Structure 1
Amino acid sequence: MSSDPPGFELPLRLFMGFRMIIDELHAELARQGHPDVRPMHGFVMQAVGPHGTTAVDLGRTLGVSKQAAGKTIDTLERLGYVERSTDPADSRRKIVKLTPHGIDALMKSAAIFDDLRRTWSHTLGEDRLRALEEDLRTMTPPDFFRLDIPGWFGGL
């Protein structure tokens, strides 16, 4: 009988670590004035980016349909995180852009992620955390900043 943990434990532990960080992030975001932001909203706001995007391009980036992207845009627009405007280069196109409220949520998220990393460093030790991060870099593709996770999880 092997003393190795079962193979299914690794992805579940990795996912649980992700889930803990994301849950803590959103609890702190709520305390800092963003109680309506949900985990998928972060992917959407990152995909909108600093220059804006269209619903079609957003859906493509997220790996979801234009309709699913549009529905999420509607929600984020209602919450004040994005706004739609006419593309100055093509009046038939609508551009989705982050509002100051959306930019604030992303900036606060970045600072909170840094705080959460410091917490992990304090608990595990900086050397062990850096080793874990390096090991994950070894085992994952270099283009780790993929935004198609909503589509991979089955849509928005």
Structure 2
Amino acid sequence: MARRDPHPGLLMFIGARYVEQRVADAILAAGYDDLTPAMARIAARLGDDGIRVTDLAAQARVTKQSASVLVDQLERASYVARVPDPADARARLVVLAPRGRAVQRVARQVEAEIEREWTDHLGAERMAALQDALVALREVADPYR
């Protein structure tokens, strides 16, 4: 039986791509014109506690060498810093530097704006249902949740 609508995975990708583009446009408009899409995708995976390059590479689904090159570029542009890992003195963690946190604030503002727009379009109940469904899908689709 032929599917009439696009696969749900494709629909989620379209939404994610839309958010990514809106965030990228806002970051560029805010003057961060040295942040490439590849660098931004790596930086977007950084949490408050930092992450090792090997884990960052696995989550981004790139080689350790590619992740290392991108982290080097981010560090040279002052978006991230490498700090000692408190759990292992031989290891280093990649953390957001103040400039990276400033870019993150721009991204979070745009994400909140998009969420409001989508809620206005779908209505609060459907948006809540969408959020619930996507959170539930993480249990089977996101090994890094």
TM-score normalised to the size of structure 2? 0.74
Residues 8-23 of structure 1: pairs in structure 2 closer than 5 A:
8-23=6-21
Q: Is 1:5 the equivalent of 2:4?
A: yes
Give the RMSD, CA atoms, in angstroms.
3.2
Give SS of 2:94's match. strand
Moved more, 44-53 or 26-35: 44-53
> Is the alpha carbon distance of 1:110 and 1:94 closer, same or farther for their aligned partners in structure 2, counting shifts above 3 Å?
same
- Tell me, yes or no, if the aligned pair for 1:87 and 1:95 is still in contact at 8 Å: yes
Count residues with an aligned counterpart: 144
Partners of 2:120 and 2:141 in 1: how far apart? Answer: 25
One-letter amino acid of the counterpart of residue 110, structure 2: I
Is contact 2:38–2:70 with CA below 8 Å preserved after alignment? no
Does 2:56 align with 1:58? yes
Which stretches in structure 1 are left out of the alignment for 5+ residues?
A: 149-156
Q: Which residue of 1 aligns with 2:119?
A: 121
CA gap of 1:5–1:101, structure 2 versus 1, over 3 A, is: same
Q: How far apart in 1 are the matches of 2:44 and 2:141?
A: 14
Which entry has the higher C-alpha Rg, 1 or 2? 1
TM-score by length of 1: 0.70
| Relative contact order, higher structure (CA 8 A, sep 6+) | 1
Cα deviations by residue, 1:58-112 (Å, 9 ceiling, x for unpaired) = 324434322111111122123221123566863x544433210011112221222
Within-5 A mapping of 1:5-154: 5-6=4-5, 8-85=6-83, 90=89, 93-138=91-136, 140-142=137-139
